Amino acid sequence: MKNTPDIAVYCRRWHSCGLVATAAVVAILSLASAAGAAEKVATRLLPSPFKENMLRERRFLVSLEPLALTREFRRNAGFAPLPEDDGILPLGGWEKPGMELRGHTCGHWLSGMASLYEATGDESLRRRAAETVGILRQCQDAMGSGYLSAFPESGIDKTIRGERYWAPWYTLHKILAGLLDQHECCGNPEALEVAARFGDWAAEKVLPLTSEEAANMRKREFGGIAESLLLLSAAVDDPVRAEKYRRAAGVFHDPTVMDPLDRREDRLHGRHANTFIPKVIADMRKWELLGDKAAFDRAHFFWRTVMDGYLYAPGCVSSKEAFRGPGLQGRFVTGMTGETCCTVNLLKLSRRLFAASDDDRERAELADYQERALWNHILGQMNPIDGALTYFLPLETGTYKLQSRPNDCFWCCMGTAMESHTRIHRVVAEDVAGTLYVNHFIPAEIRWRGMTLRLETRFPEEESATLRVIDAPDSRQEAEIAIRLPFWTKDGCGRSSYARYSRIWKRGDALEIPLPCRLRTESIPAAPSRKAVFFGPILLAGRLGVEGIAKNRLRSTNYATHDFAIPPHLASVPLEPLDSWRRIAPPPPPPRDMDGATVETLDFFAHPSFVTPSGLKVSPFWAVHDERHVVYFDEPAAAPAH
Ligand SMILES: [Zn+2]
């Protein structure tokens, strides 16, 4: 069956059939339900820019010593410093002694190590994480109550009294989530025991609160603690404890933001985005684990509202960390757009909604969002030179990606990076209700239902992909694979869809997937003359050079008040007609500091770059680092005169 069926032909038929094809597809949809169990898909990334980022993140994770990660936990539990501590660099930035958020990195690290283990099967990662869990257990034992944190419990008490403390439950969520990930991905039973004792403490802490005290506590950012308590309730084999954790999760239901969602009102403008999104992810868990339809409806309305009214071109939201909209993004194009944590959390929400959706059109939209955010924000968050990371994704013309320094930042967005760059493998293909949905054109080997499939592509350098059956069991059972047909192809009709193939798959079968790209523009709401340019799904950015940037200004701990000192003549860049843009030869590989045989065997991916008639070089935004950029070009009539 090599080279057949012809997806290009199918695609054209689909797009020309319109409603008739829609009706046919709806008729064969399999309904996913809250209780529907998906089959395991085990995916390993093959060489690509995403895998390179994963390996860079791996190197950073492995560089962090368990004793450094747990130093403040040990101090908080009353342990004296160990002689070995003298030889280990303590963590700085948000992890410094006295910082109220200290300890969050250890939780993200446990999650990142878990997904890396899942992605690679490298036993050394599991052992190192287990060593860390063992130290945390000793800290928990010493504290006696089940509490486990690098800061004292008095931080929580302050928030309950309505006093200020940064975000204690936010940090505790990261630790609980890390423990649960260690249990789920690495099979570490000790991690679940520690998590359950922590859950017992958390329930004792929050269940007796008065409504006023609980409301005080919820005024601080509390991340996904409700989600983790719900996951803990599903992980323990003890109905009494499980019920207790579920009730504790319920204390974190925040009516100030959820009630408007229940009324289908958009009150997002001005709300702190990264405080908001995890509350909605918890709603998805309420749907998955408890069948709470109202929670699903809230999450669904929220997602639709964000997609329709708050997104920027790279798939990010927020300016200065707050939602801006609906439809106001053009008035908030700043150097502080797109906090990366928000995009990571929207990706998480999209994945949960994808698993729950019973509508292929909506699934395709969810995958569209994932693709936009993965290629245009997450991939470009990391600098290939040294693995430095952005906090914000500045979109104001003339700004640049301000990135972290290795040991004196430890921002939230460095923490979520530990997770986002190590779990790309989970979204390439997903099983929903027995169908394998191939969503993203990222090279990968996929094991599913006894088969080994290989998704081969050098997209976007090559505008096609092949899904090849490498191995298949002798079976008479049909299996269904759905390939995403993206809206942005030359043949596309503006809406993505899936082509479904159900058959008895045999070794050597292959599906050829044409992905012809074209240059296209997207306007930003509230400033229609400002346009982002895409090549297929890839957001392009003009390279504006380094004028006015001292070398030490590209890395900073101070993302919140950074002055980009944009030269006036770089504050606006006119959009030249797209048919005059010329594709240029791939640039030479940028300098890289990655060592080791594994990395050297990776192919280096070139970029689909262009040059405009005025000589501006335009490259994928993910590949533009260490220089000023333009993402939103100004149509000439609207461009200010220089
Ligand atoms: Zn962040």
Claim to verify: residue 494 and residue 533 sit in the same structural domain: no
pLDDT at 603 over 60: no
DSSP for 133-173? HHHHHHHHHHH-SS---SS-THHHHHHHTT---S-HHHHHH
Is 337 part of a structural domain of the chain?
no
- Reported as a single tens digit per residue, the pLDDT across 470-495 is 999 988 899 999 999 999 998 777 89
| Residues contacting 541, CB < 8 A, separation 6+ | 618, 619, 620, 621, 624, 629, 630, 631
Claim to verify: residue 462 and residue 553 sit in the same structural domain: no
Domain stop point among 252, 287, 304: 252
CA of 495 to the centre of ligand 1 (A): 31
Domain count, the chain: 3
CA of 176 to the centre of ligand 1 (A): 18
CA of 139 to the centre of ligand 1 (A): 27
- Reported as a single tens digit per residue, the pLDDT across 367-387 is 999 999 999 999 999 998 889
| Residues contacting 417, CB < 8 A, separation 6+ | 57, 340, 344, 381, 382, 389
CA of 418 to the centre of ligand 1 (A): 12
% of residues, the chain, pLDDT over 90: 83
- Is residue 639 very low, low, confident or very high in pLDDT (cuts 50, 70, 90)? low
Claim to verify: residue 464 and residue 541 sit in the same structural domain: no
Ranges 73-82, 340-349, 630-639: which has the least confidence? 630-639
CA of 274 to the centre of ligand 1 (A): 7
CA of 555 to the centre of ligand 1 (A): 16
Claim to verify: residue 173 and residue 129 sit in the same structural domain: yes
- Is residue 26 very low, low, confident or very high in pLDDT (cuts 50, 70, 90)? very low
CA of 171 to the centre of ligand 1 (A): 12
Claim to verify: residue 27 and residue 156 sit in the same structural domain: no
Residue 8 CB: number of other CB atoms within 10 A?
17
Is 589 part of a structural domain of the chain?
yes
Claim to verify: residue 11 and residue 134 sit in the same structural domain: no
The boundaries of the domain holding residue 441 are 7-32+433-514
Is 392 part of a structural domain of the chain?
no
Claim to verify: residue 447 and residue 556 sit in the same structural domain: no
CA of 25 to the centre of ligand 1 (A): 40
CA of 377 to the centre of ligand 1 (A): 13
CA of 390 to the centre of ligand 1 (A): 9
What's the pLDDT at 636? Answer: 87
- Is residue 168 very low, low, confident or very high in pLDDT (cuts 50, 70, 90)? very high
CA of 343 to the centre of ligand 1 (A): 9
Is 403 part of a structural domain of the chain?
no
Is 1 part of a structural domain of the chain?
no
Residues counted in the chain:
642
CA of 561 to the centre of ligand 1 (A): 15
Q: Is the pTM of this model over 0.85?
A: yes
Claim to verify: residue 71 and residue 25 sit in the same structural domain: no
User: Does residue 561 or residue 19 have the better pLDDT?
Assistant: 561
Claim to verify: residue 105 and residue 228 sit in the same structural domain: yes
Of 171, 147, 175, which is closest to residue 76 (Cα–Cα)? 147
For range 596-602, the mean pLDDT: 37
The torsion defined by the Cα of 137, 142, 147 and 152, in degrees rounded to 10, comes to -120
Domain stop point among 488, 514, 540: 514
CA of 316 to the centre of ligand 1 (A): 12
CA of 560 to the centre of ligand 1 (A): 12
522 DSSP β-pair partners? 532
Is 596 part of a structural domain of the chain?
yes
Q: How many angstroms separate the Cα of 99 from the Cα of each of 93, 171, 407, 408? A: 8, 11, 14, 12
Domain stop point among 457, 488, 514: 514
DSSP for 509-574? -EEEEE----EEEEEETTEEEEEEEEETTEEEEEEEE-TT--GGGSB-S--SS------GGGS--B
